[in-house]
Amino acid sequence: MAGPILDIQGLSVDFDTGHGCVHAINDLSFQISEGETVALVGESGSGKSTAAMSILRLIPNPPGRIVAGSITFDESDLLQLQEDELRRIRGRDIAMIFQDPMMALNPVYTIERQIGEVLELHMGMSKREAFTETVELLRLVGIPAPDQRAQQYPHNLSGGMRQRVMIAMALACRPRLLIADEPTTALDVTVQAQVLDLIQGLKQKFGMAVLLITHDLGIVAETADRVVVMYTGRKVEEGSVVEIFDDLRHPYTRGLLNAAKWEGKSDGELYEIPGTVPSPFNMPTGCSFAPRCSLADQQCHEAMPTLTEFSQRRNVRCFAAEREMP
């Protein structure tokens, strides 16, 4: 197995809100290897997007604060880098795409300007070189008539096309890690698969690693190598795709999986995990999933379980899973 390209250790992020301090992420650790696709999974409020944004230090501060941990990339800790050193990595070695491409693209600049800007900044291209390269990139992500599209504005494009533009922008400098934050959530169902296929294809073509943030385990099954499940800012389970789908240990993962299975069905019934994510201002004393968990007992309501390592990169945070251990 290739060594880790990104190593997150003990990451904790707080948000100062008007009603007090919220621990958005608690002691999160995981790694991404060269060329690997890791899926970061959880409901909204699980801290998965915050984790993704923390990698490039894109958390708005205030209110957000990274209070502990390290994120090692290329032997340097991204959290300790000077702002200008970090900027050289952003968009060049690590690139991001976001949930809603309409919002993520600047409405008053042409496609070409927004992609060309990255090329000029990181690759030192002239305006003309950047234009040629932009057209190539647009062709690469499957946009028809790329030389014309390049001169249009985001509002001229469909949602799927816009996300393709975002992908082209992210790939402009051939990054080694692509962070995709819910890249298909805002798109039509018919387009979702196309965009995922595109990301998969390009990943293989350029050999980059991908961190895929999603709430949909269905997507994970098709694209990811490894899965990290998060709940209320903590990692609750980690394992390979096979392990997660065939031998899952955490009741929350089971809930997510059930929800994903039901989503595709046509009878209109939806499976939902019972209850709701607890408010960050009113966290239960024990395991934060206990109030929603059918397996919860006295112990679960009293203490937060620690992570139990089953093997390398295979761990679970659950008393019930511990008890079942051979």
Give the Cα separation of 315 and 317 in Å (integer): 7
List CB contacts of 217: < 8 A, sequence separation 6 or more. Answer: 41, 256, 257, 259, 260
Pick between residue 29 and residue 185 the one whose CB is nearest to another protein. 185
Rounded to a whole number of angstroms, the minimum distance from the CB of residue 118 to another protein is: 5
Give the Cα separation of 213 and 293 in Å (integer): 24
Residue 107 binding another protein, by CB under 8 A = yes
| Residue among 284, 257, 282 nearest 271 (CA) | 257
Residue 19 binding another protein, by CB under 8 A = no
Pick between residue 85 and residue 309 the one whose CB is nearest to another protein. 85
Inter-residue contact 250 to 320 (CB < 8 Å): no
Strand partners, 76: 73
| Residue among 94, 97, 92, 141 nearest 117 (CA) | 92
> Which residue among 153, 245, 271, 310 contacts another protein (CB under 8 A)?
153
Look at the block and give the residue holding tokens 């900027």: 87
Residue 250 binding another protein, by CB under 8 A = no
Q: φ, ψ for residue 8 (rounded to 5)?
A: -100, 125
Pick between residue 185 and residue 240 the one whose CB is nearest to another protein. 185
Pick between residue 97 and residue 229 the one whose CB is nearest to another protein. 97
Question: Cα 104–110–111 angle (5° rounding)?
Answer: 60
What's the burial of 78, exposed, middle or buried (CB within 10 Å: 0-12/13-18/19+)? buried
Helix (H, G, I), strand (E, B) or coil at 181: strand
State the binding string over 160-179 for another protein (x if CB under 8 A, else -): ------x--x----------
- State which of positions 276-315 bind another protein (CB under 8 A): none
State the binding string over 72-101 for another protein (x if CB under 8 A, else -): ------------x--xxxxxx--xx-x-x-
Rounded to a whole number of angstroms, the minimum distance from the CB of residue 141 to another protein is: 16
- State which of positions 112-151 bind another protein (CB under 8 A): 117-118, 121-122
> Which residue among 80, 106, 126, 204 contacts another protein (CB under 8 A)?
106
Residues at the site binding another protein, with contacts judged by CB under 8 A: 53, 56, 58, 84, 87-92, 95-96, 98, 100, 103-110, 117-118, 121-122, 153, 155, 166, 169
